[in-house]
Amino acid sequence: MKKFALLLVLAPLLFVSCGGSCVNEKDCFIKATSEAACEIFGNPDAWSNPDAFEEKAESIFAKYGFNVDDEEAMNALSAKYENDEDVMAALTEEMADCSSGTFDPSLLQQ
């Protein structure tokens, strides 16, 4: 019984330390991608300083538990979800919200 109680106490701590509100990879990918993309719309200087934007995007993906130092894994992750209809629908919705209507959803279709 003590082991079970200990597990109940430690499990939430482990969950919070491993990314908190993100339960699975797909959800984490959507959240991280949306947050990074919304940074572009919220920061007009993002295009003029791509290195700073890349650092910000990496920090966002790292916050969601992705190993941003593994370029091969990050490329595989992007490829995995680039044609996923659920991901595209969620990103379209998120981008519409954060871009104040300036986002063209057809950009995600390319």
Angle between helices 25-42 and 50-63 (to 10 degrees): 150
3-state SS assignment for residue 15:
helix
User: Based on the number of CB atoms within 10 Å of its own CB, is 63 exposed (0-12), middle (13-18) or buried (19 or more)?
Assistant: middle
3-state SS assignment for residue 104:
coil
What does pLDDT average to in each consecutive run of 10 residues of the chain (110 residues)? 35 39 86 89 77 89 94 94 93 82 64
User: CA-to-CA distance for 103 and 88, rounded, in angstroms?
Assistant: 13
Question: pTM higher than 0.75 for the full model?
Answer: no
